[in-house]
Structures are given as C-alpha cells and as structure tokens.
A and B are shown apart, each in its own frame.
Chain A
C-alpha cells in the first residue's frame, strides 16, 4: 500500500517553506487522510494570525476546509479530531465556534490543554475519511 502526499492547497499553507517544519500538509493512506497540526496561518501569505481562540479557530477551520477539499475530502468527512487548547477555561468558547463547522454528525473528538507553537491558543490534529 502507498502513502500519498497532499500538497499545500495555497502557498501560505506550506509550513515547511514558511517555518522550516519537516512535515507534509497531509498524507493519504489506507483510506484515511492524516493532517499535520492545523494552525491559524494566513493561507495566502503564511503569516501567523494570532487572535482570540474563536478567531484562531475560524482561521484553522478555513484552512482545514481548503486542505481537505484539495484532497477530495471535506469537513463533513472528519473522523477524529484532537483539539489542543491553551487553557481549559476556554472549553465552552471552543465548543461555540466548533459547532458551526461540524453540523452533520460531528466526528469523534478529544480536547486537552497543551502548548502550541508561537503561543497559538488552539491547534487541531485531525483524521478524515479520504
């Protein structure tokens, strides 16, 4: 079985080029798509888009939609999500924005607190059906 590399759908989403991270945006293998940690990066310029957790989450879901759709999948095909947030006090804030993007049968999800690079408030680690 092969693994297919999913290229960055927009120039800003090539984190390797902008930040030197040794990672592909996503890999398709075994009928699944494994995405690298999704961060609030401007999809055109590659600049970091720091904001409130809600603002960062909107940016991340926009990037995730671009990435999954370029790979022939979509937000409706998410299987599992790990939501890494900087402080559990924002759990309800996360849920309010998250709900807008997973209207049709939400994926499995685990939320925990962790540090993300550059002090971002949220990072999404996801697996989708191809």
Chain B
C-alpha cells in the first residue's frame, strides 16, 4: 500500500521554516495526517521572528498555526498531538494559560519539554493533525 505525500504551500508570511532559513517544509500531508514543522513566533506582517514574552510568542504561534491548518483544510479540533519545546520549563504555566484558549475540549495529546532552541526563541510548537 502506498500513501500520498504532499508538500502544502503555507500562507504568505506564515512560512516559519523559511523564516528560520531551514531546508524544511512547514506543512506536509502524509496519508491521513498533516505534519507541521516546529513553528517559531513569526509575525505574519513582517515574515520575521517576533521577540516577546512567553505568552506573546505562544499566542503568535498558535494564531499562525490555526490559520495554517485551516488554509490546508484541517483545523485545531483535528489536531491529534502537539509537542511544545520551551527554552525554560519555568515558563510552562504561562504557556499553558495561553494554550488553553486555542484548543478545544477535549484537547489533543501533548508533550512539553525544555530544550535549547535556535535564534533565541522562547518556545517552538510542532504538531500532527488529521488532514
């Protein structure tokens, strides 16, 4: 059995992988799933990384994620798994406070961990959704 693999072109200004200069596609559809690259807080107005508080970066990322998913025919309530990578786990609570407002009830599965992130990002969020 062979399943399709399609690179989905992201909306302009929301190409997070390109904003970090990475050889990565922001969205790839594979079989029934849509795989989203780790998103940094890119301001769609400038196409550049935004520097902010953990709450500001989380809000920017999830606002962009919602737009990316919907433009690709998916949505926040089709997300099955989210990985949240944080520069400091001390900021996990304010991250969660913003996160709660973006995902439905019941929410997707999620893993949160602290990691060294590129370009001074405080948080990066990747996810897998049903296409």
A residues lining the B interface (CB < 8 Å)? 1-3, 5, 16, 20-27, 29-30, 34-37, 82, 84, 114-117, 123, 125, 127
* B76 → A minimal CB distance (Å): 12
Interface contact B81-A27, CB-CB below 8 Å = yes
Interface contact A84-B100, CB-CB below 8 Å = no
Q: Does B9 contact A (CB under 8 A)?
A: no
Q: Can you list 24 residue pairs at the A/B interface with Cβ under 8 Å?
A: A2-B130, A3-B108, A3-B130, A20-B96, A21-B110, A22-B96, A22-B110, A23-B107, A24-B106, A24-B108, A26-B109, A27-B108, A29-B33, A30-B31, A30-B32, A30-B80, A34-B80, A36-B109, A84-B113, A114-B113, A114-B115, A116-B113, A117-B92, A127-B81
Give 7 closest A-B pairs by Cβ, nearest first: A115-B114, A37-B111, A23-B110, A34-B81, A30-B32, A114-B113, A36-B109
Q: B111: which A residues are within 8 A, CB to CB?
A: 36-37, 82, 123, 125
B residues lining the A interface (CB < 8 Å)? 31-33, 78, 80-83, 85, 89, 92, 96, 99-100, 103, 106-115, 128, 130
Given the known A-B contacts A1-B32, A22-B96, A114-B115, are A29 and B110 also in contact in the complex, defined by CB atoms under 8 Å? no
Q: B130: which A residues are within 8 A, CB to CB?
A: 1-3, 29-30
